[in-house]
């Protein structure tokens, strides 16, 4: 995202009043805003201009938000803030599992949505700092190389697809090897604003990330669970 250009946000919701509210509010706060009422209109807007972030309602006519998120994640890592009128924990978990970066239950205050959007955009813009080395932009563990400038992960030279949320979590863990990080600590590192103490989004991210880097996600060696305390990143990927 170019800091000299207004961030472009695509808001997808079938409530015309909400679309107009967010178009006006986000526009008055320095954003360029496009709106869509369903998946068909969303794809037309995506073809016209790639957004810096998407605000996507879970319950849409026709193709719902979960299906649209899955489709987006095949070819794009654009940050997605998912909305849902139901606010059920299962909805939130599924939304994060399929690749959404954050979740906001309706009704919500426009200021909270603005804060979360800004946090998502900052995470996509600023790399997490890793310890200095001979190759300061490249952190290595096992067959993996984490490019902290390009926000990319490679395995034996081949790039792996990560969402921005998955990348941020991995970068935070890699920056603190062999140290137990509690869920609250990780929330503070990754979110930048207060969260529900029962929020399980960190656990969901860990689950998704393990599927991509662990030989056996059920018996992880890189990202270990320390019961009652949090998670520990072991760059050796072994019991040693």
- For 120, the 3-state DSSP assignment is helix
Tally Cβ neighbours within 10 Å of residue 220. 20
What is each CA distance from 171 to 52, 196, 233, in whole angstroms?
21, 23, 10
Whether 141 and 210 have beta carbons less than 8 Å apart is answered as no
**Percent of the residues in the chain that have a pLDDT greater than 70, as a whole number:** 82
Q: What is the pTM of this model?
A: 0.55
Residue spans of the domains in the chain: they are 8-125, 138-233
Which of these CATH numbers, 3.30.70.20, 3.10.20.30, 2.30.30.90, 3.40.50.2300, describes 8-125?
3.40.50.2300
Please give the CATH number for the structural domain made up of 138-233.
1.10.10.10
pLDDT digits (tens, 9 = 90+) for 65-119: 989 998 888 888 889 999 987 656 666 667 677 788 888 888 888 999 998 898 8
**Please, is 233 exposed, middle or buried when counting C-beta atoms within 10 Å of its C-beta (0-12, 13-18, 19+)?**
buried
Q: Kindly report, residue by residue over 154-202, the tens digit of the pLDDT.
A: 998 888 988 877 888 898 899 888 899 888 788 777 754 444 444 567 8
Place of tokens 């009652």: 228
**Coil, helix or strand for 83?**
strand
Distances (CA, A) of 225 to 8, 62, 210, 228: 38, 39, 11, 9
- Statement: residue 128 has pLDDT above 80: no
Residue 107: asked if its preceding bond is cis (omega within 30°), the reply is: yes
Q: Is pLDDT of 240 > 50?
A: no
Take residue 162 and report the two structure tokens written for it. 């990560």
């Amino acid at each position: 995202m170019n800091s000299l250009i207004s961030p472009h946000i695509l808001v997808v919701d079938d409530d015309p009043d909400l679309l107009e509210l967010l178009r006006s509010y986000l526009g008055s706060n320095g954003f360029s805003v496009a709106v869509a009422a369903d998946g068909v209109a969303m794809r037309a807007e995506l073809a016209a201009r790639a957004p810096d972030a998407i605000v996507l309602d879970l319950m849409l006519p026709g193709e719902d938000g979960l299906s649209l998120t899955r489709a987006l994640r095949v070819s794009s890592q654009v940050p997605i803030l998912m909305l849902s009128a139901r606010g059920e924990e299962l909805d939130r978990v599924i939304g994060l599992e399929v690749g959404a970066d954050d979740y906001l239950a309706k009704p919500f205050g426009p200021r909270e949505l603005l804060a979360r959007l800004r946090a998502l955009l900052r995470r996509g813009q600023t790399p997490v700092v890793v310890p200095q080395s001979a190759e300061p932009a490249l952190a290595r563990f096992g067959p993996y190389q984490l490019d902290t400038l390009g926000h990319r992960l490679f395995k034996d030279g081949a790039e792996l697809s990560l969402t921005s949320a998955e990348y941020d979590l991995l970068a935070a863990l890699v920056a603190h090897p062999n140290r137990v990080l509690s869920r609250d600590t990780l929330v503070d590192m990754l979110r930048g604003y207060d969260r529900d103490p029962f929020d399980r989004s960190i656990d969901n991210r860990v689950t998704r990330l393990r599927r991509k880097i662990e030989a056996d996600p059920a018996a992880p060696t890189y990202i270990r669970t320390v019961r009652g305390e949090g998670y520990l990143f072991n760059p050796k990927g072994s019991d040693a």
